[in-house]
Amino acid sequence: MELVGGETSKAHSWTCIDLYVFATPYRVTWDYYFLGREHTLDFEEWESEAEYEYVKRNGVSIFLMPSGTIGTLRALWEVFPLFTNTAWGENANLAFLEKHMGATFEERPKPRVSELNPDDIHSGDFLVLSKIRGRWGGFETLEKWVTGAYAGHTAVCLRDSDGKLWVGESGNENEQVASVMTVWTKLQPEYAGNMWEEALNKRLGTKGLHLSEIIVESEKRGITFDKLLTVPENDSWVYEDGQSASCIAFVLMMYKEAGLFDPITSSVEVTEFTIKDAYTLKFFEDNSTRLPEWCNKDDDVKLPFCQIKGRYRMELPGYNTMEPYAHMNERCPSLPPDYNRTKGC
């Protein structure tokens, strides 16, 4: 048994509650305190001998939630409706992105769907998608907020040797490109956990370590866990189920193979790119007179790209502005709401 002790000061108001998280590499638990006095937390038993040795050497990590219990509950109330497939949920997603990212949602004139000509679509043309409603709309909203991207999913257009048009997306288990492929229904929680641990093992050069063992091993090497997380992904890494790629890495790997990153191809790891990083690359048409006739035909605002459908006008800040460079996006900060990037990061 282990007792973790600490003392809290007098509450500043009657609603003041301190929420603490206690963690070792082998467990995470929490407790909350109303009164200003000495408190103790009992660890009834150790998860393993390894946890006991770790705590003897390093102690227990203690985190104070900055918003307290009331603030945390308010934050949960703000996030919960994001995942509901209702008008309430859609409005919650819009309000969240407006508040935390400064996004704007200007309505487009009807019919809001372009009558595109498939003959104008070529291999390599980039598709950017954004959901603002339902379960995956909620996940995309949080992804946008964390990365600074104004879109949540990407795909690429491809024509086969017969000229037939396909749309390729990351996540399908079939090695051939299918007309519709979606990653969302295939990522199960246990699979996500395996990906997490295997990715960290790659960064340490180890195999088969679980998360607790990874944390202990990284500390033995003098590497903090946050530093371990920032080790760049390598495009050549192969995981147990094959080569892994997010939706945007899948697209950019094709661009990489096609030579768009020449002559610095060997110095670019596209698995480090976010969707925002991709649409800011200076790879796209910058002469609006060359865009198809149907492009934004019914909209009084002429975007530098073609919006195919959607109630709201798509925003892609920084679109088509950045030349690629060696080790691009390997050390970039990503803090809302400005998402300022350091030069050459």
User: Considering Cα of 128, then 130, then 134, then 140, what sign does the dihedral take?
Assistant: positive
Place of tokens 């918003």: 67
The stretch 75-102 carries a mean pLDDT of 90
Q: How confident is the model at residue 185 (pLDDT cuts 50, 70, 90)?
A: very low
The stretch 199-206 carries a mean pLDDT of 92
Burial of 282: CB neighbours in 10 Å, binned 0-12, 13-18, 19+: exposed
Residues 6+ apart with CB under 8 A from 43: 1, 2, 3, 4
Instruction: Give the per-residue pLDDT at 258.
Output: 92
As a whole number of angstroms, the longest Cα–Cα distance in the chain is 76
Buried/exposed 112-148: b ≥16 CB within 10 Å, e otherwise: bebeeeeeebeeebbbbbbbbbbebbbebbbbbbebb
Q: How confident is the model at residue 184 (pLDDT cuts 50, 70, 90)?
A: very low
Q: How confident is the model at residue 178 (pLDDT cuts 50, 70, 90)?
A: very low
Q: How confident is the model at residue 1 (pLDDT cuts 50, 70, 90)?
A: very low
Instruction: Give the per-residue pLDDT at 280.
Output: 95
Percent of the chain with pLDDT over 70: 86
Q: How confident is the model at residue 183 (pLDDT cuts 50, 70, 90)?
A: very low
- Structure-model confidence comparison of residues 294 and 67, the more confident one: 294
Q: How confident is the model at residue 149 (pLDDT cuts 50, 70, 90)?
A: very high
Alpha helices (runs of H) in 48-126, residue ranges in sequence order: 49-58, 68-79, 87-101
Average per-residue pLDDT in the chain? Answer: 82
Alpha helices (runs of H) in 2-42, residue ranges in sequence order: none
Place of tokens 């925002």: 276
**Calpha distance 62→20 (Å, rounded):** 7
> Domain extents for the chain?
2-66
The stretch 318-341 carries a mean pLDDT of 91
In the predicted structure, residue 195 carries a pLDDT above the cut 80? no
The stretch 158-171 carries a mean pLDDT of 86
